[in-house]
Amino acid sequence: MIGIVTWSDIDATERARLLARPAAVGDERLRQSVAEIVQRVRADGDTALRQLTRQLDGVDLENFAVSGDEIEAACSALSADQLDAIDTAISNVRKFHEAQLAAPLAMETTPGVRCERISHPIDAVGLYVPAGTAPLPSAAIMLAVPADIAACPTRILCTPPRADGSADTAVIAAASRAGVRNIYKLGGAQAIAAMAYGTTTIPKVNKIFGPGNAWVTAAKTLVSADADGAAIDMPAGPSEVLVIADAAANAAFVAADLLSQAEHGPDSQVLLLTDSNDLAVAVQREIESQLARLERRNIAAEAIQHSRIVVVANVAAAIDL
Amino acid sequence: MIGIVTWSDIDATERARLLARPAAVGDERLRQSVAEIVQRVRADGDTALRQLTRQLDGVDLENFAVSGDEIEAACSALSADQLDAIDTAISNVRKFHEAQLAAPLAMETTPGVRCERISHPIDAVGLYVPAGTAPLPSAAIMLAVPADIAACPTRILCTPPRADGSADTAVIAAASRAGVRNIYKLGGAQAIAAMAYGTTTIPKVNKIFGPGNAWVTAAKTLVSADADGAAIDMPAGPSEVLVIADAAANAAFVAADLLSQAEHGPDSQVLLLTDSNDLAVAVQREIESQLARLERRNIAAEAIQHSRIVVVANVAAAIDL
């Protein structure tokens, strides 16, 4: 059960512990293993990718590309409701990102001195979509739609293969409907290395985007530090969310928002700040009841262990905090 | 003398060598020394700063802050023309950067779902302005003006002390006229460490901006990899510039543009692409004649050694290249 603490009741040490963010993962041993994987992919290309995919994903793949037939099959395998949900999400993400397109800027700062700022799409982008314990068609959409709006000429997407050699149907369908034609069944550090350096079958990209586990994050950090590698969006994770809610909030919605991030991983951390004791107790109860119905309840429950509901004096105090 | 090559005359190996960018500096020994400096500043704060400033800048400083009197003296020491030039530069930079202020974005993607993008100024920014072989009031302006437009509440600037314990007058005047009140006489890796971690006298900042030599760059890279350190704009340098010019260009202007970056350091690299043999020869001659009059001619001449004028078939080919 998620703990409730009253901010004014705890001392400085407890406050600091409560606000400590989950540590970014990746110890030295992991970094070493990832460096070896990256090195193997750089040296042996597709051969290394096949060996690593056999060894780490337990599947023999001759060809990593998801074929046109596989894309069609993935879309057919989803219900009309599921495809509708994907299309609605694509449309919403598109609206918000199209509004962010930077207008070209041109001005004369001094007579005869014309200054311009011009945005160019990145030539080649690589999108990574995790699909281990939880496939993320949402991530495919949030990555592919901006790349489509920016009109990046080359857009490829890697997502891990399943034991039967296929990729997640919802991820494939979402990516293809969001405008990605080149999808590869490749996961983990080997996928990042393949996109950063290129192989015979995987094009080299300029920048890699997307979330991932500790291996993926370590590989992204590694290739971005190499001038011959690729730029990255940022090292991702662990997931965090902080909700501020007062007595008028719907406890079920607040609990669902907290659990949506808690279920990302056992190292996720979620916080609720509220000025209402009643809401605190109601959300605590809601989390328990929703947790019981979650597929990923074991993961979320672990994250909830080091998450907290904090009762503060008023909303202004919550914002300060 | 800068070399002229005709693109169609050289083979693939020579082409690759010609387009190879100067390597980012920083070997393992340098990184180790910088790590030690950063560690000393973290552990011993101002005491370490005093020791390092004595050891590396050869000057005993009890107090790093540039006083109000020193700022006034710096402004008085400059001629009216120099102050005018500074104010003109500030006004030009301000115009171009004010036009880049991001407008807040708010929209309803779906009835009831309001999405916003809001820009907040960074709380505390640290600006670094080199002042070793060439003090850079221009850098002070280009760093301080955007921080002023963004209205970052805390803006501090570090620039190396000279042997007499003062800082460069033009840098101080430019920084103060661009809205920076807190200027510190601190240079190199120790300045970066002080801003990243804070000391009794130097406030800790969230993000560090500005160019610097190999020590500064290594320190910025180091503190940005530490979650307790500070973010950075980017690792800067070596300087590069590529000019594309046709027969109508003014050879003296082109030469001046190339030399303005060549003089940054012996590892700078400048390239001119042109479709005109006549312009190539005229620029080559102009570089020789302007170089002879440059204060920093030894540095620029070294950079010119590994710089080139490349003659191509037409401007379209230059752009492709």
| pLDDT tens series, chain B, 321 aa | 899 999 999 999 999 888 887 765 557 888 899 999 999 999 999 999 999 999 999 999 999 999 999 999 999 999 999 999 999 999 999 999 999 988 889 999 999 999 999 999 999 999 999 987 778 899 999 999 999 999 999 999 999 999 999 999 999 999 999 999 999 999 999 999 999 999 999 999 999 999 988 899 999 989 988 889 999 998 887 889 999 999 999 999 999 999 999 998 888 999 999 999 999 999 999 999 999 999 999 999 999 998 999 999 999 999 999
- Give the residue among B311, B294, B281 at the shortest CA–CA distance from B1: B281
Q: What is the pLDDT of residue A23?
A: 65
CA distance B288 to B301: 9
CA distance A275 to A311: 5
For range A241-269, the mean pLDDT: 95
- pLDDT at residue A134 is higher than 80: no
Across the interface, whether the CB atoms of A96 and B115 are under 8 A apart is answered yes
How far is CA A195 from each of CA A190, A230, B63, rounded to the nearest angstrom? 9, 8, 51
Over chain A, what is the mean pLDDT? 94
Across the interface, whether the CB atoms of A115 and B96 are under 8 A apart is answered yes
| pLDDT band with cut points at 50, 70 and 90 for residue A106 | very high
Residues of B in contact with A25 (CB under 8 A): none
Q: Are strands B154-159 and B182-185 parallel, antiparallel or unpaired?
A: parallel
Interface probe, candidates A92, A141, A145, chain B, greatest B C-beta count within 10 A: A92
- Give the residue among A147, A137, A57 at the shortest CA–CA distance from A94: A147
Q: What is the pLDDT of residue B26?
A: 58
| Cross-chain CB nearest to A96 (options B96, B100, B107) | B107
Tell me the shortest Cα–Cα distance from B228 to chain A, in angstroms.
11
How far is CA B51 from each of CA B1, B39, B132, B222, rounded to the nearest angstrom? 43, 13, 19, 21
For residue B45, give the H/E element and its range: helix B28-52
Name the residue of chain B whose CA is nearest to A93's CA.
B109
For range A83-108, the mean pLDDT: 94
Q: What is the pLDDT of residue A183?
A: 98
Q: What is the pLDDT of residue B107?
A: 95
CA distance A117 to B309: 27
| pLDDT band with cut points at 50, 70 and 90 for residue A167 | very high
Under 8 Å between Cβ of B189 and B37: yes
Q: What is the largest CA-CA distance in chain B?
A: 69
Under 8 Å between Cβ of A118 and A144: no
Tell me the shortest Cα–Cα distance from A2 to chain B, in angstroms.
27
Q: Of A139-148, A169-178, A280-289, B18-27, which gets the smallest average pLDDT?
A: B18-27
| Cross-chain CB nearest to B92 (options A88, A110, A227) | A110
Q: Are strands A105-110 and A113-117 parallel, antiparallel or unpaired?
A: antiparallel
Name the residue of chain B whose CA is nearest to A95's CA.
B109
**Greater model confidence, A26 or A243:** A243
CA distance B140 to B173: 9
For range A80-106, the mean pLDDT: 95
Name the residue of chain B whose CA is nearest to A115's CA.
B96
- pLDDT at residue A320 is higher than 60: yes
Name the residue of chain B whose CA is nearest to A235's CA.
B225
Name the residue of chain B whose CA is nearest to A110's CA.
B92
> Residue A133 pairs with which residues in a beta bridge?
none
- Give the residue among B275, B213, B299, B307 at the shortest CA–CA distance from B21: B307
| pLDDT band with cut points at 50, 70 and 90 for residue A26 | low
Look up the pTM and report it.
Answer: 0.81
Interface probe, candidates A25, A28, A96, chain B, greatest B C-beta count within 10 A: A96
Q: Which residues touch B46 (CB under 8 Å, ≥6 apart)?
A: B64, B199, B200, B201, B202
Across the interface, whether the CB atoms of A95 and B117 are under 8 A apart is answered no
Tell me the shortest Cα–Cα distance from A238 to chain B, in angstroms.
14
What per-residue string of b and e applies to A249-279 under the rule 16 or more CB within 10 Å gives b? bebeebbebbbebbbbbbbbbbbbbbbbeeb
| Three-state secondary-structure class, residue B49 | helix
**B160: which 2 tokens?**
């190396």
How far is CA B12 from each of CA B9, B107, B313, rounded to the nearest angstrom? 10, 52, 17
Across the interface, whether the CB atoms of B95 and A113 are under 8 A apart is answered no
For residue A195, give the H/E element and its range: helix A188-197
What per-residue string of b and e applies to B165-188 under the rule 16 or more CB within 10 Å gives b? ebbbbbbbbbbbbbbbebbbbbbb
Tell me the shortest Cα–Cα distance from A115 to chain B, in angstroms.
7
- Give the residue among B22, B5, B2 at the shortest CA–CA distance from B255: B2
Q: What is the pLDDT of residue B275?
A: 97
How does DSSP classify residue A208?
E
**Greater model confidence, A133 or A268:** A268
- pLDDT at residue A209 is higher than 90: yes
Query: % helix / strand / coil in chain A, to the nearest 5?
Result: 50, 15, 35
Q: What is the pLDDT of residue A24?
A: 57
